[in-house]
Amino acid sequence: MSEIAFRGVHKRYNKTDVIHGVDMDIAAGEFIVILGPSGCGKSTLLRMIAGLEGITGGEIAIGGRVVNTLEPRERGCAMVFQNYALYPHMSVAQNIGYALRVAGVGRSERDAKVRDVAKAVGLDAFLDRKPGELSGGQRQRVAMARAMVREPKVFLFDEPFSNLDAKLRVAMRAEVRNLHRRLGVTSVFVTHDQTEAMTLADRLVIMNGGRVEQIGTPSEVYDHP
Ligand code: ADP
Ligand code: ADP
């Protein structure tokens, strides 16, 4: 059974159609990369999975359940953004633990979980720092830890590494793949960078002009066009 299913998904902003009927199935545990030029609708597709944008037509199901009308926090997804979206006045630990605190998770359980995920992304020595005292790569690790701490089934990445320098970008790709495998999650990663897409993807989704043009493994897409 597919973990994420799109059935005739449309999106209209004001009077402009930007997603024109997407049908696609993503299997549990897959690492999917959505690749395409700026403005083709990648981010909109991801935001509709997360519940940050409404769905104009069609259906999206996660784990067999139609999520069109579900709140973001009910969808079992966690999203990592390009601009980190960290709280500047909170410590690394507070940033990571915030969602748990809001959800009413008790102090000692929160402590243990925050420590666990911080360790998984190599941030255990930085728990008391503020985001402003961290490098770009460390901030992106905080964003990943914050996503992980809620133990989502689905990870959504919206061009998370575009602000990082080339060397760090390569290192972060490897980390993301490792986390994906270790956590056994389903990941959907949006990028306009072909090299990044080929390195990360189990399967590529090639988008253009609000449509899915092709879906396949990197070798299916690039060796047999
Ligand atoms: P991508 O992520 O591939 O760069 P987007 O999903 O961000 O593409 O955008 C797809 C199209 O939708 C673009 O034409 C963009 O201008 C438009 N768009 C995105 N967000 C909005 C919005 N909030 N209101 C109106 N148009 C939008
Ligand atoms: P609050 O009093 O609002 O919970 P705290 O600063 O005491 O704010 O902690 C916020 C979150 O960060 C909690 O989940 C706590 O477990 C975690 N936390 C704070 N400092 C540390 C630390 N040094 N190591 C591990 N977790 C920490």
Do residues 201 and 33 lie in contact, with contact meaning Cβ atoms separated by under 8 Å? yes
Q: Kindly identify the ligand whose nearest atom is closest to the C-alpha of 39.
A: 1
pLDDT at residue 54 in the model: 97
Using a 6 Å cutoff on CB, does residue 110 contact ligand 2? yes
Give the tokens for residue 70.
Answer: 């579900």
For β-strands 2-13 and 57-62, DSSP reports them as antiparallel
The 10s digit of each residue's pLDDT in 18-76 is 999 999 999 999 999 999 999 999 999 999 999 999 999 999 999 999 999 999 989 99
Q: Which DSSP symbol is given to 88? A: T
Tell me, using a 6 A CB cutoff, whether residue 44 lines ligand 1: yes
Q: pTM (2 decimals)?
A: 0.88
Q: Which ligand is nearest to the CA of 48?
A: 1
- For residue 191 and ligand 1, the question of a CB distance below 6 A is answered with no
Residue-level pLDDT, tens digit, the chain, 225 residues? 799 999 999 999 999 999 999 999 999 999 999 999 999 999 999 999 999 999 999 999 999 999 999 999 899 999 998 877 899 999 999 999 998 999 899 999 999 999 999 999 999 999 999 999 999 899 999 999 999 998 999 999 999 998 888 988 999 999 899 999 989 999 999 999 999 999 999 999 999 999 999 999 999 998 865
Look up the ipTM and state it: 0.73
Q: Compute the chain's Rg from CA coordinates.
A: 17
Which residues are registered as beta bridge partners of 156?
79, 188
Crossing angle of the two packed helices 136-148 and 166-183, in degrees rounded to 10: 20
Q: Which of 91, 102, 123 to mutate to test the pocket of ligand 2 (most atoms within 8 A of CB)?
A: 91
How many angstroms does the Cα of residue 40 sit away from the middle of ligand 1? 8
Cβ 188 under 6 angstroms from ligand 1 = no
Q: What is the number of other CB atoms lying within 10 angstroms of the CB of residue 9?
A: 24
